[in-house]
Amino acid sequence: MEAFKETLLSSFIVFENQLNGQKKSELHKLRQKAFEAFEKYGFPTRKDEDWKYTNLKPIIKHDYKIFHPKEQKLQLDEARKYFLSETDTYRIVFVDGYYASWLSLTTHHQYDICTFSALINRYPEIADEYVGKLINHGDSFTALNTAFAREGAYIFVPDNKIVDKPIEILHFTTPHALPAFQQPRSLLVLGKNSRATVIERHISLSANPVFTNSATEVFLHTGAILDHYKIQTDHYEASLIDNTVYQLQGYSVLNLTTASLGGKFVRNNPIVKLIESMAEAHLWGLTKIDSSELADHHTSIEHIAPHCQSNELYKGIFGGRSTGIFNGKVYVAPHAQKTNAFQQNNNIVLSDKATVNTKPQLEIFANDVKCSHGCTVGQMDENAMFYLRQRGIAADKARALLLLAFAGEIVDKIQLPELRQYVKRIFNQKNHIDFDFDL
């Protein structure tokens, strides 16, 4: 058994003992159950179909430190570099797994934009109603997260409220002498006809390995709209597993944009459950990685109710010895007629050492549905390159221009101008080019 798993197993008892006062709560029972599940399943291996192309070994080989001292190590001046600067936002900031009040801007006024621990302490009945209701304990990482669930973001928007500013959720890990493990746990509840924009980032400031196992449950009640941005531009020693489960009621809309532009190992598992008619989910993904980075998008769309729409467009650019994985599962239940499900995954491979595995996984049990899927893996278009170079545009700039154009379809989906510019800038930096215009 991995040393890391042993550490986790032995730490659970310590962790539990710290949680005096919560022992009788629903959450406590949930943690117990989740822990047992993790104990039973352990970490997945490449024998598991869902992890066939995603080698976890280099990540779980470290014996991570699980508990970190609560120190106010990170100063505002340092943290600020990672905030949106021109956009007024709410902020929920964590440092080494603890809530950092001095870096945050939260509210309880019209809506709750605060922390998971506040949810547990102040609103136990909401916690009982929502926490653990979407998460599947059959997955070892979500089970592990639930077992240790303690801190993360909590957002509750009551019916008919529109959150007036975007919400930034930032998880910092400060420099550590040892490899560090983080497990943020978050809950987002959007009431009927409410609306919110959420930006999520994980930022490692450590030169040592950092491994984050994040889990989030998101409830969109009737008519709610969520714009969710996951901006993954972390350090090359940082790894992330992100499990986010969305439940969409009638007429609700999810817009999820995932930009995976860096990090040693990034695995995204968005699970979208369309449980009532007329719900819509749009998933956009942009991956641009190099060296030996890995980015894996395992999406799962469950059309449980009829008359729902899902739309997935993931684009990836892979250089160096990087590895890209896209697995798009679309399940359509027997009575989910009139489902409209679209899926597309397009990839450009820039080097012969980079690999891409892409696979649609359709499980369609209804007959009156429109489902389409497609994937491409190609190289730079040499004719387009020649065309640009013939006009005097140097090869590296021509390549960057074509890549930015390829990515543009996703980048343009980012509604917040400052965030869009930021993603573009990081993207161009990865191509070592700066353009003096907007495409």
Partner 1 sequence: MLKIKNLHVSVDDTPILKGISLEIKKGEIHAIMGPNGSGKSTLSNVIAGKEDYQITQGTIEFEGKDLLELSAEERAHLGIFLSFQYPVEIPGVSVTNFIKTAINENRKAKGLEPMPAKELLKLIRERMELLNMDKSFLSRSLNEGFSGGEKKRNEIFQLSMLQPKLAILDETDSGLDIDALRIVAKGVNTLRTPENAFLIITHYQRLLEYIVPDFVHVLYNGKIVKTGSKDLALALEEKGYDWIKEEVAI
Instruction: Give the binding site for partner 1 (CB under 8 A).
Output: 381-384, 386-395, 397-398, 401-402, 404-406, 408-409, 435-437, 439
Least distance to partner 1 from the beta carbon of 42, Å?
45
**Smaller CB separation from partner 1, 178 or 405:** 405
Q: Locate all alpha helices (DSSP H) within 19-65, ordered by sequence.
A: 26-41, 57-60
Residue 316 near residue 323, CB atoms below 8 Å = no
Q: What angle do CA 113, 133, 340 make, to 5 degrees?
A: 90
Structure tokens at 297: 């998008």
Secondary structure class of 93 (helix, strand, coil): strand
Identity of the residue, 369 or 433, whose beta carbon is nearer to partner 1 in the bound complex? 433
Identity of the residue, 198 or 410, whose beta carbon is nearer to partner 1 in the bound complex: 410
**Any bridge partners for residue 121, and if so which?**
none
Other Cβ atoms closer than 10 A to 72: 11
Tokens 């493990």 locate to 181
Give the nearer residue to partner 1 in terms of CB position, either 365 or 386.
386
Question: Of 18 and 390, which has the nearer Cβ to partner 1?
Answer: 390
Beta carbon nearer to partner 1, 134 or 400: 400
Nearest to 185 by CA among 227, 241, 233, 139: 241
Minimum distance from residue 256 beta carbon to partner 1 (Å): 22
Nearer to partner 1, 210 or 403 (CB): 403
Residue 141 one-letter amino acid: F
Q: How far is the CB of 284 from partner 1 (least distance, A)?
A: 15
Q: Evaluate whether 35 touches 12 at the Cβ level (below 8 Å).
A: yes
The residue among 3 and 395 lying less far from partner 1, judged by its C-beta, is: 395
Residue type, 80: R
138-167: buried (b, 16+ CB within 10 Å) or exposed (e) per residue? ebbbbbbbbbbbbbbbbbbbeeebebebbb
Closest approach, Cβ 390 to partner 1, in A, equals 5
DSSP one-letter string for 272-312: EEE-STT-EEEEEEEEEE-TT-EEEEEEEEEE-SSS-EEEE
Shortest CB 341 distance to partner 1, Å: 24
Residue 375 CB, shortest distance to partner 1, in Å, is: 18
Nearest-approach distance from CB 378 to partner 1, in angstroms: 14
CA 275 remoteness from chain centre: 21
Q: Please state the closest distance from residue 436 (CB atom) to partner 1, in A.
A: 8
Q: Kindly give, in sequence order, each residue whose CB lies less than 8 Å from that of residue 240, ignoring residues fewer than 6 positions away.
A: 202, 211, 212, 214, 232, 234, 263, 265, 266, 267
- The 8-class DSSP code of residue 63 comes to -
List the end-to-end C-alpha distance of the chain, in Å, as a whole number.
51
Which residue number, 105 or 384, has a Cβ lying nearer to partner 1? Answer: 384
**Complex with partner 1: residue 272 or 423, whichever CB lies closer:** 423
Least CB distance to partner 1 at residue 383 (A): 5
CB 190 within 8 A of CB 221: yes
Q: How far is the CB of 129 from partner 1 (least distance, A)?
A: 45
